Every structure is written in C-alpha cells, then in structure tokens.
C-alpha cells in the first residue's frame, strides 16, 4: 500500500507539472514550427504593428533591448523579418514581416501565456489575486525574484541556434557575494 504523499511533496509535484507543461509546449513549438515562444511573440507583434522598431517590440514583449536584439537577429537570419532604415532617422530601423514570417505567425498555435490569460479571465478577481500572491511567494522561495525578462512567455529561456538548445535555463540564484548564477536545465529537474 503506497504511503500518503506529504504536503511539501504535493507542492513540489505541482511546480514540476507547471515546469513540464512549459517545457513540453516549448519543445512542441520548436519541433513543429522552428520557433521559440519569444520569437513567435515578436512575429505576432509585427503583424499587429507593421514597421515597428526594435524598442517597440521589446516594450510590447516585456523583454530587454538586448534580448530582443537576439530574437530579431535569429528571425532575420531565417528570413522571417526584414529591417529597413527609418528615413528621417538614419540611426534607427523598422522591422517588417516577410511572407514566410507571416505564414508561420498565422499557422503557429496560440502562445501558452495567451491560453493562460484566457483561463485567468474565468476567475474571480480575488482568486486571480490569490494565485498572483502565491506565485510571487514561490518565486521568492526559489530565489527567482529577478527573473522577469522571459516571464510573459511561460518558456525556458533557451538559446537555440542551428536547432540545438544550450543547456541553460533562465533561473537566477543569488550567491553570497550578490552575483547571480544560472542553473542548468538538468539541475532544475530533481
């Protein structure tokens, strides 16, 4: 007869289920469409705002300019977007979807964050507030208070080049000297 699972083990299992759902979705998106969630988010934002600037995309996606630069570089290398200098400001450039970029944006499924937002609208305000409070506390307990750059995507922050994902997840752990170290994906799967 199996022993009853403890409350702390149930919490750990719930966190792992969330992590596995995010990883599974990210893997599916990459395998089926060759895109990461932030890349798909950038394509979808360009569909809404043709000729947007990188700064506009960074603001809309809630990511840093450095992060959006990498996203846009990879999308441009794949021919999914094009860049053009802004006529009245030669230092700036605007972005535009290519036909292939538009096709992928239209064919890919909704982002996990969008599905989650739909589910959140079904809750009472007090329930959503309670979830927020609990998740903020869990993030603090996991020393992940500074992980905000990829938060809107529900995706591991994996650098993918040539079809290979680097083995670094975006989970910061503050060390005694105040610096942040990043955990490998394998160390997060206990």
Chain segment 31-40, per-residue pLDDT in tens: 999 999 999 9
Chain segment 156-168, per-residue pLDDT in tens: 444 433 343 333 3
Question: Residue 138, SS3?
Answer: helix
Q: What is the pTM of this model?
A: 0.68
Q: What is the DSSP letter of 86?
A: E
Task: State the distance between the two ends of the chain, measured CA to CA, in whole angstroms.
Answer: 25
Give the span between the Cα atoms of 163 and 158, in whole angstroms. 11
Give the span between the Cα atoms of 38 and 155, in whole angstroms. 8
Say yes or no: domain 7-188 is CATH 1.10.10.10: yes
Contacts of 103 (CB under 8 A, 6+ apart): none
Q: Where are the domains positioned within the chain? A: 7-188
Give the span between the Cα atoms of 56 and 72, in whole angstroms. 12
């Amino acid at each position: 007869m199996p022993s009853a699972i403890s409350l702390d083990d149930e919490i750990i299992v719930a966190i792992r289920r969330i992590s596995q759902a995010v990883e599974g979705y990210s893997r599916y998106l990459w395998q089926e469409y060759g895109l990461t969630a932030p890349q798909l988010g950038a394509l979808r934002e360009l569909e809404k705002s043709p000729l947007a600037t990188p700064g506009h995309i960074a603001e809309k996606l809630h990511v840093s300019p450095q992060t959006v630069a990498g996203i846009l570089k990879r999308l441009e290398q794949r021919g999914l977007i094009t860049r053009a200098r802004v006529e009245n400001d030669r230092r700036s450039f605007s972005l535009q979807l290519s036909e292939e970029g538009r096709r992928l944006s239209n064919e890919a499924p909704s982002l996990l964050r969008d599905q989650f937002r739909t589910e959140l609208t079904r809750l009472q305000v007090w329930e959503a507030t309670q979830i927020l409070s609990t998740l903020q506390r869990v993030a603090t307990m996991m020393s992940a208070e500074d992980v905000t750059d990829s938060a809107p995507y529900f995706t591991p922050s994996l650098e993918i080049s040539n079809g290979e994902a680097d083995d670094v997840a975006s989970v910061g752990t503050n060390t005694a000297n105040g610096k942040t170290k990043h955990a490998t994906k394998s160390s997060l799967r206990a």
